[in-house]
Structure 1
Amino acid sequence: MGHLSSMFNGLAKSFSTKKGRRSSKHDRREAAEAMVKDAKKNDLILCSSGTVNVDGSNNFVSVFSKRGKKGVNQDCCIVWEEFGCQKDMIFCGIFDGHGAWGHFVAKRVRESMPSSLLCNWQETIAQTSLDPDSDIYDEKKQRRFNIWKHSYLKTCAAVDQELEHYRKIDSFYSGTTALSIVRQGELIVIANVGDSRAVLATISDDGNVVPIQLTIDFKPNLPQEEDRIIKCKGRVLCLDDEPGVHRVWMPDEESPGLAMSRAFGDYCIKKYGVISVPEVTYRNISSRDQFVVLATDGVWDVISNEEAIDIVSSTIDKAKSAKNLVECAMHAWKSKRRGIAMDDISAICLFFHSYPPQDQVTLE
């Protein structure tokens, strides 16, 4: 990784002091931006269809995205291996934009979230006086998760606030979901805003590969979500030609008809119960856990958790696993949703064990 890699090795330590003092927010942001540039230079960041397979890493990642039939592809992804120049960390994020400016919103959040999360993560570590190299840090997984949770909550609030004041993008009637995972050693932290989904594949007692859903699809008709929206004077109802598809509406207007209860952007409806607060959870990876799939609702609208895990498990060339899952979802749209325009479909498959290089996935 070169000079920057050694400079930022032991991220929390390097941030906690600068010339004998605690670093400022400006210092931390500069450092995070430098790490982004370094990661891009060393091909550690992937923002399109393809694979990430870094020598010596315990991760192997396959990514694929396909435009639907509604116009420009509003899905986007990011994979950052050696996240924050930490050898045992990886960040994966998938974003599903909506509205006229949705693709711009999704890309803006993809651009700002990882570096903002790094800044908040190191700041939280410094505030808790926790040394990431100490035995205590390795042993206290719950405490480590709490640091990530606090960092994610702070990051999502900041990203949404900055987006509202970003004049180059009109996000008043447009927004994006955001689902991301940080793997740090044997800990995975999952943060979800919206209705994309993360599903883990693990080996059951009888030796079969089975799915475990790690996230909730934040739809407006979920009891806790609907209750919050109604208390804020928003409305949750289905259109006559879309039975079963619950949407959020303003009190006295037939807009925006948002099909999820959490999102970045969408400021027209924010005071009526739609929020950008993530649900943050974690899992300690066991020897039985094989991989995790992150995918936008274009996959889950037509593919079950079990089907997705079976598709990825049965793909011999793991580099093509995300593409295979997306293509299966495309075929399912044609058979299960005839007459309905196919949604954008994107998936990330994060394997917990590195694989030998295979033929590269064709970029689209």
Structure 2
Amino acid sequence: MGHFSSMFSGLARSFSIKKVKHNNGTCDAKEAADEMVKDAKKKEMILKSCGYVYAEGSNNSASVFSKRGEKGVNQDCAIVWEGFGCQEDMIFCGIFDGHGPWGHYVAKHVRNSMPSSLLCNWQKTLAQTTLLDPELDLEGSSKKFSRFDIWKHSYLKTCASVDQELEHHRKIDSYNSGTTAITIVRQGDVIYVSNVGDSRAVLATTSDEGNLVAVQLTLDFKPNLPQEKERIIGCNGRVFCMKDEPGVHRVWQPDAEAPGLAMSRAFGDYCIKEYGLVSVPEVTQRHISAKDHFIILASDGIWDVITNQEAIEIISSTTERPKAAKRLVEQAVRAWKKKRRGIAMDDMSVVCLFLHSSSSSPSLSQHVQHAMTFK
């Protein structure tokens, strides 16, 4: 057996699953995924609110913070899961930014259901691929199925099933409400990024010249992006800005001044799904090197007032990792009050995932000439 099948065997052993059941070529892994969730909760490896997570024996550490804006209840939420899928070298992180009257319920539902659904689909795909080729070695240069293929397929199935489940949820009205979802899975020295909506992932890395630079890992899926606008118009939806919001492109129904959604991809929002809004994620991967320091996941409230470069400099100049996410949010609040005076502040949420242990990571302070401050 190659690395691929041995990984699946490791998952099975984690819960003494002696045999995987197969029906018509599919694998039922939901029970195993649910057990993994329960086990992770017991061991306090899942963080769903503000704080800091660092699992013993792990090189991963993450800082999380969320702050309510001035529009009502906080519709943002986050998750960090160390030891994702009972694998010591895996971690799952996500930011979910809800909108609409039921947006906070939608965001929390997607946050709670996505990790276990992703695990389930990942195990299914893993098992099916292993059955097709038991000698498959993911590390081989001539592999037919790559790890990226597996994760992309798993994410596509997960997002489709989560959105379908949400549509038929008896207690959550998501017809005029929805959420974004920016998530990453780190597996060893590779990260897989899935993006639905306009939240953003930014990597802090060292350039060849030795400077700390920001690399944006995702697109902000706004309705005016050429490929997004083409799809929306092709589905008879409309894209335009309101007179009092120049530069803010929104999706509208063909014959109504609704819903005015400022993103082109989201979970929920079924009032406009037939007019070009989709919940299909963009899935990408990146190999982590010694030059890569941390990844910031943040809702759009942060990026409305903070640039990518400012964000990584704020994090890198924070001496205590557990306070990193909170400090970025606090700086964004100050920036909002300065740059967007008179406009109700949005909810702001940040997950900062450090890619190397503090003892092995090179000092970041040498890259930062000036800490970013907003008075």
Per the alignment, in what secondary structure is the counterpart of residue 29 of structure 2?
helix
Q: CA deviation at 1:194?
A: 0.0
Alignment deviations for residues 4-47 of structure 1 (CA, whole Å, 9 cap, x no partner): xxxx97116779x8547437979511211111111011010000
1:102 corresponds to which residue?
103
2:5 corresponds to which residue?
none
Q: CA deviation at 1:50?
A: 0.2
Q: Note if 1:352 corresponds to 2:355.
A: yes
Q: CA deviation at 1:90?
A: 0.2
Q: Distance in 1 between matches of 2:12 and 2:146?
A: 15
Q: Note if 1:188 corresponds to 2:197.
A: no
Q: How does 1:163-242 map to 2 (within 5 A)?
A: 163-242=166-245
Q: CA deviation at 1:126?
A: 1.0
- Is contact 2:298-2:350 (8 Å) kept? yes
2:10 corresponds to which residue?
10
Taking structure 1 as reference, are residues 252 and 226 closer, same or farther at Cα in structure 2, changes over 3 Å only?
A: same
1:93 corresponds to which residue?
94
Q: Note if 1:309 corresponds to 2:312.
A: yes
Q: Distance in 2 between matches of 1:354 and 1:126?
A: 32
Taking structure 1 as reference, are residues 197 and 226 closer, same or farther at Cα in structure 2, changes over 3 Å only?
A: same
Greater shift, 170-179 or 48-57, is seen at 48-57
- Is contact 1:105-1:176 (8 Å) kept? yes
Q: CA deviation at 1:106?
A: 0.2
Taking structure 1 as reference, are residues 307 and 111 closer, same or farther at Cα in structure 2, changes over 3 Å only?
A: same
Q: Distance in 1 between matches of 2:140 and 2:238?
A: 46
Q: 1:152 aligns with which of 155, 161, 167?
A: 155
1:55 corresponds to which residue?
56
Q: CA deviation at 1:138?
A: 3.8
Q: Distance in 2 between matches of 1:203 and 1:301?
A: 25
Taking structure 1 as reference, are residues 130 and 315 closer, same or farther at Cα in structure 2, changes over 3 Å only?
A: farther
Aligned partner letter, 2:88: K
Alignment deviations for residues 257-307 of structure 1 (CA, whole Å, 9 cap, x no partner): 000000000000000000000000000001100000000000000000000
- Is contact 2:232-2:238 (8 Å) kept? yes
Residue identity (%): 69
Aligned partner letter, 1:107: K
Taking structure 1 as reference, are residues 268 and 130 closer, same or farther at Cα in structure 2, changes over 3 Å only?
A: same
Q: Distance in 1 between matches of 2:231 and 2:19?
A: 47
Q: CA deviation at 1:127?
A: 1.2
1:275 corresponds to which residue?
278
1:30 corresponds to which residue?
31
Q: 1:265 aligns with which of 256, 265, 268?
A: 268
Aligned partner letter, 1:252: D
Q: CA deviation at 1:192?
A: 0.1
- Unpaired stretches in structure 2, ≥5 consecutive residues: 1-7, 360-375
Q: How does 1:282-321 map to 2 (within 5 A)?
A: 282-321=285-324
Alignment deviations for residues 337-356 of structure 1 (CA, whole Å, 9 cap, x no partner): 01100000000000011237
Aligned partner letter, 2:82: E
Taking structure 1 as reference, are residues 202 and 26 closer, same or farther at Cα in structure 2, changes over 3 Å only?
A: same
1:323 corresponds to which residue?
326
Q: Distance in 1 between matches of 2:294 and 2:165?
A: 33
Q: Distance in 2 between matches of 1:239 and 1:87?
A: 49
Q: RMSD of the alignment, in Å?
A: 2.4
Per the alignment, in what secondary structure is the counterpart of residue 229 of structure 1?
helix
Q: Distance in 2 between matches of 1:72 and 1:109?
A: 17
Q: CA deviation at 1:312?
A: 0.4
- Is contact 1:200-1:211 (8 Å) kept? yes
Per the alignment, in what secondary structure is the counterpart of residue 113 of structure 1?
helix
- Unpaired stretches in structure 1, ≥5 consecutive residues: 1-7, 357-364
Give the aligned length.
349
- Is contact 1:181-1:191 (8 Å) kept? yes
Aligned partner letter, 2:43: N
- Is contact 2:27-2:128 (8 Å) kept? no
Q: Distance in 1 between matches of 2:200 and 2:20?
A: 44
Q: TM-score, normalised by structure 1?
A: 0.91
Alignment deviations for residues 182-231 of structure 1 (CA, whole Å, 9 cap, x no partner): 00000100000000000000011111110100000000000000000000
Q: How does 1:329-340 map to 2 (within 5 A)?
A: 329-340=332-343
Aligned partner letter, 2:339: K
Q: CA deviation at 1:152?
A: 0.1
Alignment deviations for residues 82-101 of structure 1 (CA, whole Å, 9 cap, x no partner): 00111110000110000000
Greater shift, 52-61 or 192-201, is seen at 52-61
Q: Distance in 2 between matches of 1:213 and 1:263?
A: 20
Greater shift, 276-285 or 199-208, is seen at 199-208
- Is contact 1:308-1:325 (8 Å) kept? yes
Q: Distance in 2 between matches of 1:19 and 1:150?
A: 23
Aligned partner letter, 1:59: N
Taking structure 1 as reference, are residues 272 and 135 closer, same or farther at Cα in structure 2, changes over 3 Å only?
A: closer
